[in-house]
Amino acid sequence: MCGIVGYISNNSPASCENVAKILIKALEKLEYRGYDSAGIAILESNGEKKIHMIKTKGHIKDLCALAADKFSTLENCRAGIGHTRWATHGEPNDVNSHPHMSYSKEIALVHNGIIENYLELREFLTKHDYKFLSQTDTEVIAQLVEYYYKETHDPVKAVRTATNMLQGTYALAIIFAEHPDMLIAIRKDSPLILGLCENRNMFASDVSAMLEYTRDIIRLSDYEMAIVKADSVTILNRFDEEVEKTPVKITWDANAAEKDGYDHFMMKEMMQQPTAVRNTISRYANGTRIDFGLKSITREYLKNVRDICIVACGSAYHAGVVGANLFEKALRIPTRAQIASEFIYSDPLINENTLTIVISQSGETLDSLQALRKAKELGSKTLSIVNVEGSIIAIESDDCIYTQAGPEIAVATTKAYSAQLVVLYMLLGHILSIRNDDASIESRYLSECMEIPAMLESILEHKEHIQHLASLYQNCESIFYIGRNLDYALALEGSLKLKEISYIHSEAYASGELKHGTISLIKPGTLVIASCTYEPLFEKTLSNITEVRSRGAEVIALAREGNTKLESVADHCVWLPKCSQMTGPSIAIVPMQLFAYYIAALRGCEIDKPRNLAKTVTVE
Ligand code: AGP
């Protein structure tokens, strides 16, 4: 949530307009993290030693217009900070937007995270005659840094003392008018990455914002503070001792974060699903064997593990529901999927015999991170399934399996979800083969997984059929998704995709549960999307379809080719290639993603950046 960036160069002559352009360009790459307001603050190096700031409610394009006005004539500016916001404290408006200035206007900062004790700190500062303009927790940090700066006249000491008083999460970029030759960056639980270049340096919440300038990066750890100058970067640990960190080279293709001719990132990412799945399989397939390169989670541990708990949020949780279902059935040990935000406070029954699997695309989701920490505290081994390399969840878990989906930009996840599912199938094959001492199991699971990409391709090739169905139902007020067993897990994800980007009310229901209350909402014309890929319960789902149809519902049914019985009970059938039982959810989710996409497009919704959402959710 929220994207921050800092940039400093010693290019001469340096115009303010250039610094603003670089900051804004970086913010455009970070906009997926939050997009209700944006702002930048720039340091004037000579003469007055002043901070110039612009900020506004709305998107980055609104900021560009302001920047052109304000910065075109300013010279001698070499450094600045920027922010794109997802509001937590205070509505999205110009005043609550970042950067926030200290009372004397000598310090400006941007923040990603939440300060839990901000009211106490605000009270403390108010007693010392500080006044506040905004409702944000961030403004309190700016004033607090100033309070200590006035005492010490030392920016490093002031930032350290102030941040030591903060409870909560933060990544901060701070500038001081009196020190135009440096930026300060510090973090706890929110990401911050330094980008090293010649004659200039920068940092940001995400590598993508810096790829145009550098591929040499350093990830800051919790409590580390970076003093960033144009020709040097000094990193201090929490005791203010200097630490040496070796830069890592990023090998990503910078184009990965471009739309490549598609109207939306979501469409591009749906189309990339066959590749995402293929790459994930080939990273861990070693001939007919599966090798995740796990170090801490040994074969011995997997052989004896007594129960498994999968924790995640949103779509990653839905992948976990599929996984839990398959794991429990095949391994015959208790396996459950839990929503991370509930898990943390549920006094979970886990111990050293439990394997906790945390699934997260971003590797940054705070609820999932806290669930991971809780599991570790209780003695459980932790394994994460993460897409973003080097992210906090990946680093803090005992072992990590990286999905190979590549950068995912659209808020609605598609290719990362598909890659998570395939990792779960392979992991199941791996554990099962260890427990049964039978290598052929791995080879069988691998073969099933290898069939997925071609089936995804065949669905994506015929997407016009789904587009047509979307055009028929674009004006629905409410849409129900039903299914049993794995199809229920699928229904959860299909329904989330639809409500997330089209704003149509939607419910996912286990088909057998409808008659216990929800069926009262079905009336003539209500659209029900029924998944019928789980063969053992096909007949039962068929009966549930008949029940809703006899109450006037219109039904789109998804099933494997050949289930002709469906033709007489559903209004429309979406035929899927003949996939295995296990891989059904991977195949059937694609028409659901497409349906959500086309309906949202027809309704004119902002598909890649749906209202009120952000790609990475780093608040509780
Ligand atoms: C899915 O489309 C959502 N954007 C959301 O539910 C997401 O899956 C969830 O916030 C978890 O994110 P993560 O995978 O990055 O942890």
> What is the Cα gyration radius of the chain?
26
Ligand 1 atom nearest to 318, measured from its CA: 8
Q: What angle do CA 582, 587, 588 make, to 5 degrees?
A: 100
Position 297: which residue type? I
CB 383 within 8 A of CB 401: yes
Per-residue pLDDT band at 612 (split at 50, 70, 90): confident
Instruction: Please say if 578 is a catalytic residue.
Output: no
Which residues, listed in sequence order, are joined to residue 195 by a DSSP beta bridge? Answer: 202, 217
Which residues, listed in sequence order, are joined to residue 112 by a DSSP beta bridge? Answer: 171
The predicted structure's pLDDT at residue 13: 54
CB distance 506 to ligand 1 below 6 Å:
no
CB distance 316 to ligand 1 below 6 Å:
yes
Sign, CA torsion 508/571/589/452: positive
CB 177 within 8 A of CB 105: yes
The predicted structure's pLDDT at residue 255: 66
Phi, psi of 184 (to 5 degrees): -115, 135
Among 360, 361, 385, 495, which residue has the most ligand 1 atoms within 8 Å of its CB, making it the best to mutate? Answer: 361
Among 273, 359, 365, 593, which residue has the most ligand 1 atoms within 8 Å of its CB, making it the best to mutate? Answer: 365
Q: pLDDT tens digit string along 188-216?
A: 989 999 999 988 999 999 998 999 899 99
The residue whose C-alpha atom lies closest to atom 16 belonging to ligand 1 is: 360
Question: Which residues in 304-411 belong to E strands, given as ranges?
Answer: 307-312, 335-339, 354-360, 381-386, 399-402
Q: List the single range of 109-123, 243-257, 277-291 with lowest mean pLDDT.
A: 243-257
139 has a pLDDT exceeding 60: yes
Q: pLDDT tens digit string along 568-590?
A: 899 999 999 999 999 999 999 99
34 has a pLDDT exceeding 90: no
Q: Which residue has 């350290």 as its token pair?
A: 160
31 has a pLDDT exceeding 90: no
CB distance 403 to ligand 1 below 6 Å:
no
Q: How far is the CA of 414 from the centre of ligand 1 (A)?
A: 10
CATH 3.40.50.10490 fits 259-450, yes or no: yes
What is the DSSP secondary-structure string of 462-495?
THHHHHHHHHHHTT-SEEEEEESTHHHHHHHHHH
Ligand 1 atom nearest to 314, measured from its CA: 6
Q: pLDDT tens digit string along 515-546?
A: 898 889 999 999 999 999 998 998 899 999 99
The predicted structure's pLDDT at residue 89: 84
Instruction: Looking at mean pLDDT, say which of 58-67, 309-318, 534-543 comes out highest.
Output: 309-318
Q: How far is the CA of 115 from the centre of ligand 1 (A)?
A: 23
Among 205, 413, 502, which residue has the most ligand 1 atoms within 8 Å of its CB, making it the best to mutate? Answer: 413
Q: How far is the CA of 68 from the centre of ligand 1 (A)?
A: 35
Q: Which pairs with CB-CB distance under 8 Å and at least 24 residues apart come from 147-152?
A: 149/102, 149/106, 149/107, 149/176
Give the residue-averaged pLDDT of 434-463. 97
252 has a pLDDT exceeding 80: no
Provide the 3-class DSSP secondary structure of residue 57: strand
CATH 3.40.50.10490 fits 461-602, yes or no: yes
The predicted structure's pLDDT at residue 14: 60
The predicted structure's pLDDT at residue 286: 95
CB distance 205 to ligand 1 below 6 Å:
no
Question: Which residues in 225-302 belong to E strands, given as ranges?
Answer: 225-228, 233-236, 248-249, 285-286, 289-290
CB distance 371 to ligand 1 below 6 Å:
no
Write the CATH number of the domain with boundaries 3-251. 3.60.20.10
How high does pLDDT run on average in the chain?
A: 93
Q: pLDDT tens digit string along 464-514?
A: 999 999 999 999 999 999 999 999 999 999 999 999 999 999 999 999 998
* Catalytic-role residue among 2, 16, 573, 605: 2
Ligand 1 atom nearest to 613, measured from its CA: 4
CB distance 387 to ligand 1 below 6 Å:
no
CB distance 313 to ligand 1 below 6 Å:
yes
The predicted structure's pLDDT at residue 527: 97
The predicted structure's pLDDT at residue 432: 98
C-alpha closest to that of 383 among 305, 435, 442, 315: 305
Ligand 1 atom nearest to 368, measured from its CA: 16
The residue whose C-alpha atom lies closest to atom 9 belonging to ligand 1 is: 314
Ligand 1 atom nearest to 361, measured from its CA: 14
CB distance 413 to ligand 1 below 6 Å:
yes
CB distance 337 to ligand 1 below 6 Å:
no
CB distance 315 to ligand 1 below 6 Å:
yes
Q: pLDDT tens digit string along 80-93?
A: 999 998 888 888 88
pTM of the model: 0.86
Q: Can you tell me the distance from the alpha carbon of 139 to that of 118, in angstroms, rounded to the nearest whole number?
A: 9
Break the chain into its structural domains and give their ranges.
3-251, 259-450, 461-602
Instruction: Please say if 157 is a catalytic residue.
Output: no
The kind and range of the H/E element at 497 are helix 486-502
253 has a pLDDT exceeding 90: no
CB distance 361 to ligand 1 below 6 Å:
yes
Q: How far is the CA of 361 from the centre of ligand 1 (A)?
A: 7
Q: pLDDT tens digit string along 145-194?
A: 999 999 999 999 999 999 999 999 999 999 999 999 999 999 998 999 99
Q: How far is the CA of 233 from the centre of ligand 1 (A)?
A: 34
- Asked if the domains at 3-251 and 461-602 fall in one CATH topology, the answer is no
378 has a pLDDT exceeding 90: yes
For residue 571, count other CB atoms closer than 10 A to its CB: 15
